[in-house]
C-alpha cells in the first residue's frame, strides 16, 4: 500500500467544529439554565454550562480557528522551546468544510480520503460540567445528537459516519439515543472515557447497571468509541489543580506527565475487569484519540489481575482486551510497538484532522505505516479494520 498513494484510506479520527447552537437548537426552553446557554461576556461569545461559564474552549465560535497540524513540532519534542501559545497563534478564518457536509465531501476528495469517522470537538468537553445533574446531561446530549443529525447525518453518502454521543448516567435515555441513532443509520457511538455518575454516585463504566446500553450496541453490531474528552483531571485531583485541559502550557506538569494515559487506561481496564466482554462477546470498542502509550502498562496489569485472581475471569483478560478493543495510535506513537502489542488487525488509522495536534494532511500517515514493511498490515490499518467496525465491506479492490 505504501507504494500506491491512491490506495483507499478510512480515517477513523476526523472532526467537525460545532456551531454555537449545537446544544441549544433542540434544547427544550425549560431546560436552559440546567443545560447549555449562550451568553456574551466582555464582548465575547461564551457558553454557560450547568450555570457556569464553560472553559473547555475560549472561543466557541471557532472563528478564527487554529490551523490543522500546527502543533507537529511541539509533539516532536518542541526543540525550539516555544510556549504552546505560539503554536496556537497560527489561525485562519473558519473554512466551510468544518461545518458543512457537502463542502467536507469536496475536501475529502481533495485529500484523497475515501471515508471518515467524524467526531465531536467541543462536544467532548461538555458532559464534565453536567455529570452530577444526570437528567440535564441526558437532555443536553439528546439535543446535541439532533443537531448532529440535522447538519451532518449519521451516515452521509457512505463516506462520512458521525457518532451520536452517549451520556451513560441515565440508562433509559442512553438506550433511547442508541435506538434513535440506529433508526437513522448510525454505525458508531461516542463516549468519554470516564466512570459514570448516577443517582447512586460514581459507578464503574462496565457495571451490569449499564448492560441495557451495551446489549443494544452489541446486538446491532455498532462500535463504541471512547474518545479523549474532559474528564476532570483524570483522577489526579488530589495532586493537582485541574484547569480544563491536559495539553502542556495549560495543565500542571504532573498532569501532562501522566494524564494522557490515565483516563483511557482506567476506562478500558474497567471494562475488562467488570467482565463486560464476557457478558457481551460480540461487543466492539475502538479507542480513538487517546494514543497508545497506555498499552504496555495496561496489558501488564491485566495479565497480573489474571494470575493473581485465579478463577475470576472466564478466559485470559489480556486476550479479552485484544479480541474486543481496537486502538488508534497518535501519529507520534511508535506504530511498530503498537502492532507488536495488538497485532495489525486491531490498530486503526486516525489523523485527528483538522485539530492542531493532528496531521495537516491525513495521508501523511502512510509514511508511518510504510515503516511496517508489510503491505497486508498497512491495508488493514489504513482501511480494512475501520471499514469492518463500520459494518462495511473490507475489500478495496
Over the stretch 157-196, which tens digit does the pLDDT of each residue have? 999 999 999 999 999 999 999 999 999 999 999 999 999 9
Percent of all residues in the chain with a pLDDT value above 90, rounded to a whole number: 85
Task: Read off the pLDDT of each residue in 348-375 and give the average, rounded to a whole number.
Answer: 97
SS3 per residue for the chain: CCCCCCCCCEEEEEECCCCCCCCCCCCCHHHCCCCEEEEEECCEEEEEECCEECCCCCCCCCCCEECCCCCHHHHCCCCCCCCHHHHHCCEECCCHHHCCHHHHHHHHHHHCCCEEEEECCHHHHCHHHHCCCHHHHHHHHHHHHHHHHHHCCCEECCCEEECCECCCCCHHHHHHHHHHHHHCCCCEEEECCCCEEECCEEECCCCHHHHHHHHHHHHHCCEEEEECCCCCCCCCCCCCCCCCCCCECCECHHHHHHHHHHHHHHHHHHHHHCCHHHHCCCCEEEEECCCCCCHHHHHHHHHHHHHHCCCCCCCCHHHHHHHHEEECCCCCCCHHHHHHHHCHHHECCCCCECCCCCCCCHHHHHHHHHHHCCHHHHHHHHHHHHHHHCCCCCCCC
- What's the domain count of the chain? 1
Per-residue pLDDT band for 149 (boundaries 50, 70, 90) equals very high
Q: Which position has the grid cell 495488538?
A: 342
Task: Read off the pLDDT of each residue in 110-119 and give the average, rounded to a whole number.
Answer: 98
pLDDT of residue 249: 59
Query: What's the Cα-to-Cα distance from 205 to each of 103, 202, 283, rounded to whole Å?
Result: 37, 9, 14
Write the CATH number for 182.
3.20.20.140
> Is residue 373 included in any domain, yes or no?
yes
pLDDT of residue 362: 98
pLDDT score of 4 more than 60? no
> Is residue 91 included in any domain, yes or no?
yes
> Is residue 385 included in any domain, yes or no?
yes
> Is residue 201 included in any domain, yes or no?
yes
pLDDT of residue 289: 96
Which residues, in sequence order, are bridge partners of residue 162? 118
Structural domain of residue 182, as residue ranges? 10-19+65-389
> Is residue 49 included in any domain, yes or no?
no
Between β-strands 65-66 and 91-92, what pairing exists: parallel, antiparallel or unpaired? antiparallel
Per-residue pLDDT band for 245 (boundaries 50, 70, 90) equals low
> Is residue 258 included in any domain, yes or no?
yes
Over the stretch 200-213, which tens digit does the pLDDT of each residue have? 999 999 999 999 99
pLDDT of residue 157: 98
> Is residue 28 included in any domain, yes or no?
no
> Is residue 395 included in any domain, yes or no?
no
Query: What's the Cα-to-Cα distance from 137 to each of 97, 117, 303, 356, rounded to whole Å?
Result: 29, 24, 36, 28
Amino acid at each position: 500500500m505504501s507504494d500506491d498513494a491512491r490506495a483507499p484510506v478510512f480515517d477513523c479520527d476526523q472532526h467537525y467544529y460545532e456551531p454555537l447552537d449545537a446544544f441549544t437548537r433542540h434544547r427544550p426552553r425549560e431546560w436552559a439554565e440546567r443545560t447549555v446557554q449562550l451568553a456574551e461576556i466582555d464582548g465575547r461569545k461564551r457558553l454557560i454550562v450547568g450555570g457556569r461559564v464553560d472553559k473547555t474552549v475560549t472561543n466557541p465560535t471557532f472563528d478564527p480557528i487554529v490551523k490543522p497540524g500546527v502543533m507537529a513540532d511541539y509533539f516532536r519534542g518542541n526543540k525550539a522551546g516555544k510556549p504552546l501559545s505560539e503554536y496556537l497563534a497560527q489561525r485562519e478564518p473558519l473554512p466551510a468544510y468544518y461545518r458543512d457536509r457537502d463542502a467536507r465531501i469536496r475536501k475529502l476528495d481533495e485529500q484523497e480520503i475515501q471515508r471518515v469517522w467524524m467526531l465531536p470537538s467541543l462536544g467532548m468537553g461538555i458532559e464534565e460540567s453536567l455529570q452530577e445533574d444526570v437528567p440535564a446531561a441526558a437532555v443536553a446530549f439528546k439535543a446535541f445528537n439532533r443537531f448532529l443529525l440535522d447538519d451532518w447525518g449519521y451516515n452521509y453518502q457512505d463516506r462520512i459516519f458521525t457518532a451520536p454521543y452517549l451520556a451513560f448516567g441515565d440508562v433509559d435515555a442512553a438506550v433511547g439515543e442508541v435506538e434513535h441513532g440506529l433508526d437513522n443509520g448510525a454505525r458508531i457511538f461516542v463516549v468519554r472515557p470516564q466512570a459514570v455518575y448516577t443517582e447512586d454516585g460514581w459507578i464503574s463504566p462496565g457495571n451490569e447497571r449499564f448492560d441495557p446500553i451495551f446489549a443494544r450496541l452489541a446486538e446491532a453490531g455498532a462500535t463504541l468509541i471512547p474518545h479523549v474528552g474532559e474528564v476532570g483531571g483524570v483522577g489526579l485531583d488530589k495532586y493537582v489543580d485541574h484547569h480544563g485541559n491536559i495539553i502542556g502550557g495549560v495543565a500542571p506538569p504532573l498532569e501532562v506527565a501522566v494524564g494522557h494515559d490515565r483516563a483511557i487506561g482506567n476506562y478500558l481496564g474497567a471494562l475488562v475487569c467488570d467482565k463486560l466482554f464476557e457478558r457481551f462477546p460480540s461487543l466492539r470498542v475502538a479507542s480513538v484519540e487517546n494514543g497508545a502509550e497506555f498499552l504496555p502498562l495496561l496489558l501488564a496489569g491485566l495479565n497480573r489481575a489474571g494470575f493473581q485472581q485465579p478463577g475470576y475471569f472466564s478466559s485470559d483478560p489480556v486476550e479479552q482486551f485484544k479480541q474486543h478493543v481496537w486502538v488508534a495510535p497518535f501519529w507520534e506513537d511508535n506504530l511498530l510497538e503498537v502492532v507488536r502489542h495488538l497485532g495489525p488487525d486491531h490498530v486503526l488509522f486516525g489523523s485527528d484532522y483538522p485539530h492542531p495536534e493532528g496531521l495537516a494532511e491525513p495521508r501523511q500517515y502512510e509514511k508511518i505505516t510504510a515503516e511496517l514493511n508489510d503491505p497486508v498490515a498497512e491495508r488493514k490499518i489504513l482501511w480494512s479494520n475501520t471499514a469492518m467496525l463500520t459494518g462495511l465491506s473490507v475489500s478495496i479492490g
